[in-house]
Structure 1
Amino acid sequence: MKSIKEMDAPIGLAFFFGPALIIVIVLLINGFNTISAIMALLLILCGLKYMHTSIIGKYKIMEIIVDNTQLKSNSKILDAGCGHGAFMLQFNKKTASISEIVGIDIWSNKDQGNNSIEATQKIMDSSSLAGKVKLKTANILDMPFSNNEFDLIISSLVLHNIKPFEKRKEALAELAKVQKQKGELVIMDIGFETSKYVPVLEHLGYQNVSIANAGYNGWWGTPMVPTFVITASK
């Protein structure tokens, strides 16, 4: 679990708590109004759900994913857009099967609070993965790796930040390029547009492409902004 200052896209809270605060101020000035009070309460509840997903819910999703992932011996893993290393840390019980985990990020504080390579390195150094993690500053659209390099590629809550959608297709192509044959891909991402990744991945040569709604733990404020998990094999 992360602290609030390390939330994903902390500015998102402003969309819920900002209007709720304005409504409360209006109620204090003009007097109680049932409909306005209900609206304020709903916005506050949505904001709290956003916080839950960011600091609790997404970790539960990652834990389930990793528990269901079968690693080959001496697996080399890429975390594309690693942030604070939340996804990488879920592999701490499978270190015996891992030769190296490479985490890349552009270290944007807009996308994740308190995000820096130094902060993530400290987290990794204090984990059971210390010595197996290598962090790099790199963009998913232009990764400094050889073709067919990684057995497993994971990416969490990253691709939706890439706009327009054509750029996301380029990012998926980059992932496919550095993925080993018979390798595995896992993508967590936000929003219903995630379903469009499926035909793109199939065109890139992935097989057994599946997509699933992560449910309550992946709601970013409301069920209208869900998290989806895509798995595929090369």
Structure 2
Amino acid sequence: MRKRHGHYGFDAPWPLVGLLIGAIALLALAALSFVLDILAAGVAFAFGGLYTLASAFSYLYTTRRGKFAVWDAELGRLRGDERVVDLGCGRGAVLLAAAARLTDGGRATGVDLWRSKDQTGNTEAAAKANAGAEGVAERVDLVTGDLRDLPFGADAFDVVLSSLALHNIPSADGRAQAVREAYRVLRPGGLMLLADFQHTPDYEQALRDLGVIDVRRRDAGWRFWYGGPWFATTIIEARKPTG
């Protein structure tokens, strides 16, 4: 995995804070139970605290390292001359990893509404600073836009990417519209990779409703767990039909 030079914050930080507070509270209750000689309760609280702490470390690993390893592997298929768009790019974790694989003929565009509740420090300025730190600013464009109404023409990109962004759209109709927009801006024969830990069967169905046959849903693996396998990330991989 390549060395990162930007600063990418934490994904949805409040669940991580909740896990850490929960682990501390359970371990404190375990200690109190042992002091009071309530052994069964102490063992139960200790087990729960350690389990919650392990979940917190899983979440922390994914947001700081694991997701980068998964996306580095996924982006290894780029030739280097593609037009790439990252939908919900945030501070640029996936966008800039893609840009680093592009040659002078390629270009990477990031789209976001820049909401800090989705990621700490999620601003266009942060993404721009990271592009400079990674040495790819000259082939990166940043656009403020709604994923349900992308400001691009049809067939504008060779590759469409999105990582943990579509689930932030509150309604099922809105998420389906975002998938349709992703499909619209993808050129025939182009590659789509959508990673999320919620609603991925719906994303797949939205693509099949558009006539996409070359589409599959696959587990991204333990490196992309947000606390454990119950918050595993799934990748939708699809190719837009050429005919």
Normalized against structure 2, the TM-score is what? 0.87
Structure 1 alignment gaps of length 5 or more: none
**Structure 2 CA distance for partners of 1:3 and 1:47, relative to 1, 3 Å:** farther
CA-to-aligned-CA distance 1:159-216 (integer Å, 9 cap, x gap): 121222222101101111211122211111113x312321211222334101110111
Residue 232 of structure 2 is aligned to residue 226 of structure 1: yes
Matched, 1:195 2:198: no
1:18-71 deviation line (CA, Å, top 9, x unaligned): 222222333444445111111111101101110001111100110010013445
Residue 57 of structure 2 corresponds to 48
Q: How has the CA–CA distance of structure 1 residues 186 and 176 changed in structure 2, closer, same or farther, with 3 Å as cutoff?
A: same
Structure 2 equivalent of residue 12 of structure 1: 15
For residues 72-221 of structure 1, the aligned pairs below 5 Å read 73=81, 75-96=82-103, 98-191=105-198, 193-221=199-227
> Superposition RMSD on alpha carbons, in Å?
2.1
- Matched residue, 2:47: 38
Aligned residue number for residue 69 of structure 2: 60
Q: Distance in 1 between matches of 2:5 and 2:226?
A: 16
Q: 1:124/1:4 Cα in 2 relative to 1: closer, same or farther (>3 Å)?
A: closer
Count of matched residue pairs: 231
Q: Is the 8 A contact 2:29 2:45 kept in 1?
A: no
After TM superposition, the score normalised by the length of structure 1 is 0.90
Q: Distance in 1 between matches of 2:220 and 2:8?
A: 24
The answer as to whether partners of 1:186 and 1:230 remain within 8 angstroms in 2 is: yes
Larger radius of gyration: 2
**2:8 and 2:91 in contact (8 A); partners too:** no
Find the residue that maps to 1:141 and give its secondary structure. coil
SS at match of 1:38: helix
Change (3 A) 1:29 1:4: farther
The answer to whether the 8 A contact 1:3-1:55 is kept is: no
